[in-house]
Chains A and B, each alone.
Chain A
Amino acid sequence: MSSIAQKKGFGATIWDFMTTVDHKKIAILYLISGGFFFLVGGIEAMMIRIQLAKAGNDFLSAGLYNEIITMHGTTMIFLASMPILLAFMNAIMPLQIGARDVAFPFLNSLGFWLFFFGGIFLNLSWFMGGAPDAGWTNYASLALASEGHGIDFYTLGLTISGFGTLIAGINFLVTIINMRAPGMTYMRMPLFTWTTFVASALILLAFPPLTVGLFFMVFDRLFGASFFAVEMGGNTIIWEHLFWIFGHPEVYILILPAFGIFSEIFAIFSRKRLFGYTALVFATILIGFYGFMVWAHHMFTVGLGPTANAVFALATMIIAVPTGIKIFNWLLTIWGGSISFTTPMIYAVAFIPSFVAGGVTGVMQAIAPLDYQLHDSYFIVAHFHYVIVGGVVLAILAGTHLYWPKMFGTMLSEKLGKWTFWFFFIGFHLTFFIQHFLGLMGMPRRVYTFGADQGWDLFNAISSAGAIFMAIGVIILLVNVVMTTIKNERVGNDPWGDGRTLEWAIPSPPPFYNFAQTPLVRGLDSFWIEKMEGNKKGMIFAEPLGDIHMPNNSFIPFVMSLGMFVASFGALYFLDGDKPWALAVLVIGLLITFGSMLVRSLKDDLGFHITKAELLKDAKGGNTDGH
């Protein structure tokens, strides 16, 4: 943040962030809250590994263990990985396409606050009678039988944050369709923008089934419906279908932006155009498309019959083809390049073998008969941690280092960054590689303890030791963030020196209107093109300097989300006989939400203009914060 922002009082800064509609500030909000939940999920992971470090351990009780694994999975997927990726999408994607903001700045803010309040609501369960304990998949028969309100925190919390994510998805889609700078054709879009686009489309189509499933669960548990109540004619397999119709695309919602980040990194730090850009784009689209056709491979053991299992097995195998195309194109991108091993680049390089390992075990599990052995064993635990940690989390860590200067105007320490990498990377393989074998040796997943007579002691101990390394890596990253922020050495437009896309052509952090003049794009990697042609400004402009229209800040998104948060408490306690106020709380919450929606609808909000004179003054004075 610039010197101007620091002069603002603390309260004013908080208020600014609570009302902001600027995609770059919303990105920071996503990063901070996603980062916070990442730490929470990480602590839960450590507790799991402590419990399983030796046979018959009693560090956690059985019930508490189930709560922790449920919250670990849910937190990491919904509240850490996705929001942090949304942070990068928000911070970078509009800059990459030369836009001044996203299509719906107001909705962008609403999306964040819905996610935030949903996440807080879910985690409040720890302090209000116990967390959900039916696994992050929340299978219906167990969820319906779960006592207390843990599951209700899960369903309501995820419903709220799911709405937020859906809104973000629509917003990014419209932004990319409508707001590209002149010359930025679809086939000139940077790959991170492409993956954002496809991931957003997946969000759009995958979240509604989850929301429907969650609603069924809410109605069953809180309002006496019987979608999943077998004795009332219900069917629990419906939940499994709805969950996985969402759940499988969700994996690609996470991994595609990760692919996008790595694609940017490979090109930047090899100083080379992405090899087979067109193939990479089509592979991305194909992966997104197939993502919806394979959900039942999570249900091979459910008893859907051999025909369904065979069809879904083959469909699943096909996904390996576009994924393989991506891997080879990345390899050929660095081939013949000039590789600079910066922190983001070593993450990207390390990602390739890690992700290939996760990918091949995925193909093994696509073999339905073999999956009867692997399903719900530690093999699957190893597999999805290889793709999620080896793919998504490595991308998040790489992206954090890569985009930190663009988001905050100062660079994370490369030295500490490499320490983080080595600890995290070694710890990651140590923790999860061995778990493949635990699975093959017959260890089911989600067990809070195991007997010394099962032969799993040694490997579990090794796995737990690895987790410590990962924790040390994350702690070093935190130290790095604090030290970097204190030092606050400002950097220029293109701190890595080899930036290729538009975001590196403007100041770090960019002014709140991003581009004083909209750029004109002449090809893929437009900043690189201008650099190679010796254009000192980094871009050519599509318009003369003129007034810029900007949206107003608004407090309404915060209030709307707060209303949903309040209403959720009402719904939660609706059927508890001893809480007559629950209905009132539910109604008040909904009134707050719909009332503020009405206010938004009735009150004209036309935004404001930055005049040409102000832009000129900014350009001279280097004031880029706009306030």
Chain B
Amino acid sequence: MDINQRYTPQSWPEHPETATMEGKNKFIGFWLLLAAETVTFASLFATYLALKDKGPSGMEFSAAGLFELPLVFAMTMILLTSSLTSVYAMYHMKNHNFKAMQAWLGITVLLGATFLGLEIYEFNHYVHLGFGYTNSAFSSAFYTLVGTHGAHVLFGLSWFIALMLRNAKRGLNMYNAPKFYLASLYWHFIDVVWVFIFTVVYLMGVIG
């Protein structure tokens, strides 16, 4: 693999992410990592469900009383949209259109950052209500589950930004194509996890 080799959309392979041995390894390895991440989140979800609404006797907080759907719904839409924009970015990556890819990635990052900002606002709001991390088993489980997701979002954003800056001048090649691809795969995973959080934590919380 020659990092300096220049490609045109014609010479660019159909599946650049798995065109090299390194790419193939990363592709499989990353899916396996996502399997481990899935188990991690499954454990967090199970714990959350076990500890939902559990606190010291006389705790004033409950999922039904605490969560407000409009804000969370907006966050969900933003994150879902960012997943879509990262799909566009990968579409252009496969067509070897570097500038369009960077642009779509830029939009993805903006949306992700907005999501993260809203999440911080939400947490801050709860803390001001007195629902801090150390308030109860419920609060610990809630912040740990949603916060772990938030940390993943932060990591995903940093990853996108680092890739965009590092490759801004040299464009796409067989060395960085798998990296872009995996970062966007990671982003989709984060999105899927959020869909579960939205359903299990917020929807079921407000209803139940």
Contacts and interface: CB of A to CB of B under 8 A. Distances in A.
Q: Please determine if A and B sit in direct contact within the complex, based on CB atoms under 8 angstroms apart.
A: yes
Interface of A: 103-104, 166, 170-171, 173-174, 177-179, 204-205, 207-209, 211-213, 215-216, 219-220, 223-227, 229, 231-235, 238, 241-242, 245, 598, 601-602, 604, 606
10 contacts: A166-B36, A171-B29, A173-B29, A174-B32, A209-B39, A209-B40, A215-B144, A224-B133, A229-B137, A234-B51
Nearest to A204: B36
Interface centre among A223, A225, A601 (most CB of B within 10 A): A225
Contacts of B69: none
Contacts of B59: 233
A291 B46 CA distance: 20
A604 B137 contact: no
A271 to B, nearest CB: 37
Q: SS class of chain B's interface: helix, strand, loop or mixed? A: helix
B134 A205 contact: no
Contacts of B24: 178
B95 interface: no
A324 to B, nearest CB: 29
Interface residues of B, number: 36
Contact of B134 (A225, A598, A601): A225
Contacts, number: 109
B37 interface: yes
A103 B21 CA distance: 9
A216 B47 CA distance: 10
Interface string B98-128: 0000000000000000000000000000000
Given A103-B25, A224-B133, A235 B50 contact: yes
Given A212-B44, A232-B55, 4 more contacts: A178-B21, A208-B40, A216-B47, A233-B138
Interface in B144-162: 144, 162
Contact of B47 (A178, A211, A238, A598): A238
A606 B36 contact: no
A18 B110 CA distance: 41
Given A166-B36, A212-B44, A233-B51, A174 B138 contact: no
A347 to B, nearest CB: 33
A104 B25 contact: yes
B35 A234 contact: no
Contacts of B141: 227
Contacts of A174: 25, 28-29, 32
Contacts of B138: 233
B133 A223 contact: yes
A229 B134 CA distance: 11
A173 B32 contact: yes
Contacts of B208: none
A208 B35 CA distance: 10
Contacts of B134: 223-226
A121 to B, nearest CB: 22
